[in-house]
A and B are shown apart, each in its own frame.
Chain A
Amino acid sequence: EAEVAQSPRYKITEKSQAVAFWCDPISGHATLYWYRQILGQGPELLVQFQDESVVDDSQLPKDRFSAERLKGVDSTLKIQPAELGDSAMYLCASSTRLLQETQYFGPGTRLLVL
């Protein structure tokens, strides 16, 4: 069964450093999502792509976060500089099309900022 791949699985960094997360969606999935999940809470959508275009990034803290999906396939989420409050699980998901309710999630990247 095809899966969403994410790396790294775990990342420890110091505040003010830059971090980057990578996501490879299921082949053929046009829509890609990045979520942030703070421990004990539900996932919060940060940014959504349709192919290489951003559909919604209204919840992305643009002063420090950036996301790209240059060729409409894999994607990178970057944080620069990292802050203590960024410690969370960062989840990537993909679906065949916009508003496709069945999203397939990757295993996530657990970020700890010291």
Chain B
Amino acid sequence: GAVVSQHPSRVICKSGTSVKIECRSLDFQATTMFWYRQFPKQSLMLMATSNEGSKATYEQGVEKDKFLINHASLTLSTLTVTSAHPEDSSFYICSFLSGGGLNTEAFFGQGTRLTVV
């Protein structure tokens, strides 16, 4: 299957600072990608959908000024958590879509565990 590289895998930052998470598809190009957040013992909640070359579409309740998404190319997307607070501590996962129609398949990064102290 396709390979998606996400880093860092783990980051600890101080409250008030910003953290950038990078997600890169290594062997395919994707026009659509997603960012998810997962709290302990919960499912993955979609934060935003990003299409290359256009602005990200955020889900209800997700602050676009706090979670900056840059989908700069078909193989690279970044999520920046700005002015992080302890409640932003979570597991963040990116996903790229490949294929289309009924065969549309998602490939995931390994996830980033963010701890804000």
Do the two chains bind?
no
Q: Which residues of A contact B (CB under 8 A)?
A: none
Interface residues of B, Cβ cutoff 8 Å to A: none
